[in-house]
Structure 1
Amino acid sequence: MNGPAAGPLPREAPANALDTGKLFAARLQAARVRPYLATALFALSPVVCRRVPTMAVDAYWRCYVSPAYVDRTRVEELAGAWVHEVSHLLRDHHGRSDRYARRHGRDGPAERLRMNIAADCEINDDAYGDGLARPGGAVVPGALGLEDGELMEDYLRQFRLGPHTAHLAWLECGSGADGVTRAWDLGPDGAHGLSAQERDAVRFRVAQRITGRPGNAPSGWRRWAEEAFHPPQPWRQLLGAAVRAAASAPGAGEDYVHGRPARRSAAVPGAVLPSLRRRPTRVVVVIDTSGSVSDTELGSALLEVAAISRAVGGRGDLVGVLPCDAAAGRVRPLCGGTEGVELLGGGGTDLRTGFTRALESRPRPDVVVMLTDGQTPWPSRRPPCRTVVGLFGRQHGGSSYDESDPEYRPGGPPAWARVVTIG
């Protein structure tokens, strides 16, 4: 799918002439230095717009371009701007911004600007170099005292607007970056927009180019492509249901603290009574590392761990990982991301030891997530916390337990577990 390479561009109103030759030369240069993004770059439809300071996109893959910006900017920097804007769309920053706003109850112009800044940090940490010039004013994580290599949601937890971000008030990447419709947006029924099916097709073809030529794309793009081909299961919904059920149980996720006295202290003169405070939900993920689990399935398990971490707000300290075959290791917090997870094992399978070790960890988990092929005996009793089982996509059934028997089919998970198929 190609955007228009010639002919009149859609216009919001009569405007200064746009130097289309320069604009399209910059897009061609961007495609040459980032060939894995070529399909997406040529799927963008330019729209002349004097109300944007530089370039901006909407969710329907239109790119709104300021003629004045094109006139004053070198072709090399324009190429970087093309890559930047299409990256917002490929990474679904508009959808992720909307989900973040709903989840955290934070919205409004200031909060959406913060989302745009965080999305720019996710893109710009490894987008430039190797033949692609960084556009003037591009936001990088280091300028805000942040580390490279993190996601938009991670950055949103780490900074607030203030004097150090005042110089970014002009930032405007459009509704395709932060999810808020602009006055100039042409909307779903406007000319040259892509349908949902066309947008998915573009993303799939870009992911295919990245995974088909390993080593040519930065790590951020490789991570994105892997998730595009193997989308994580909807852990946010699954964990949400499990956590809500866990929280409704007496005493679950609660503790008494003196940081804020209880209101009833006034009824007991001379005494300061503690208040009941809800603590963050803690999750332990038990990963089956037995010999019957393939490397591909272990890779899928790590993708799911990353998705689970995002489901609890990106706080790695709230997620513990426990490799387990016939013996269980120890629960390690996910503070360093999935790159630091060691999946040791390769022997037989008895995930009952994993359940036991997970429940012995301190602080005690509110939810245990088990990622397994199912070839394991299960605890005879319901664990004292919510349990979600992720089964790698195989056929399960039968009741015998002998992994050396080629006819062996394991029994399914117990009824008390919430089960989802992975892959």
Structure 2
Amino acid sequence: MKTYVVGGAVRDELLGLPVKDHDWVVVGATPEQMVEQGFRPVGKDFPVFLHPKTQEEYALARTERKTAPGYHGFVFHTAPDVTLEDDLVRRDLTINAIARAEDGTLTDPFNGQADIRDKVFRHVSDAFAEDPVRILRIARFAARFAEFTVAPETLALMRRMVEHGEVDALVPERVWQEVARGLMEATPSRMLAVLRDCGALARIMPELDALWGVPQPALHHPEIDTGAHMMLVVDYAASRGFDLAVRFAALMHDLGKGATPPENWPAHHGHEGLGLKLIEALCKRLKVPNECRELALMTAREHGNVSRAEILRANTIVTLFERCDAFRKPQRFEQMLLASECDFRGRGGEGDDFATRPYPQAPHLLAALKAARAVDAGAVAAKYAEKPERIKEAVHKARVSAVKNGVRSAGPDPDESDDA
């Protein structure tokens, strides 16, 4: 019985990166022997055990055979005669198919160290094609290791997998899991680029894939292409360390531009509303968490209004707050402002200064929200105890007055008919 550290721990150690978790493979043992030594079995599909002290996972060396489409269509085999090389050959990439023995000796049968040096993602064997999740994993790795490129033969294999419908068999939860993890990496745009290069983005998020090739006005978007803009926006969100909901909202905010009439391009009037159905469909299909879905919808609907914040009248601003439920959920409103700022920052090219220009819209709206929230709605309501049908309007007007008095407005006084 021999134990080896495998996978990401060895890879990251060779890259000089911090090692967070260790995955172990055990060669030459049976499940009974593992239990006798105090390991606790936890694996469902194949024998995996938790170490009695460290609680790290130890998996018996195994082989696998494809029996059905998709992620779960495998039969696994473990036995004491399964070798370390038998186990490593089933892994996805050469950089993840290196094992380190207890004495520090490396077993690298597929030249993973060379690919680490050359910064290349290369599949270990044709068995890669049996698991479509590996396409998503490579895309996620690309977002983490931005200097790595996909080997031409691996990209060609990924394209064939997409053409053969393997990606279509992925369960929505797993797609979202990998996409969400990729969004939380340092350079999420690299994930999108890899998914587009192999054709997978058009299968898993066609609404997003449709944005590439859609032009925008050069005055406001020197990058022109809406897909290119989206990549800049999500990378800016990552550079600021924003949470998943903000990053996803930033990714989704312009989805409607793929649905505007081409004869009107590069203008996209009404794209905010057009994007809502697309976001709803995508989120329903991938089972996106409600927190992410709701913020994405709000950002898509309101980012245009946020961009005009300084010229909005007080009544329009309060109506915006009401529509966004900002009085009950001010933190979510602040998240929407962050995602909207990403939209502003994520544009331009070399020499453009969008990343450093002033962005007064957010502080302007936050100051207005603070003033409006200072209104004692209960006291206002008490004045209309005998006319409850007028309470809502009275509270609204009191908040409008507070915004007018508390925040300098660039527009004229509101009137009764003004609306966002």
- Pairwise same-fold verdict (TM > 0.5): no
Given the two structures, how large is their TM-score scaled by the length of structure 2? 0.30
More contact order relative to length (CA 8 Å, sep ≥ 6): 1
Larger % of helix: which? Answer: 2
Question: TM-score, with normalisation over the residues of structure 1?
Answer: 0.30
Larger radius of gyration: 2
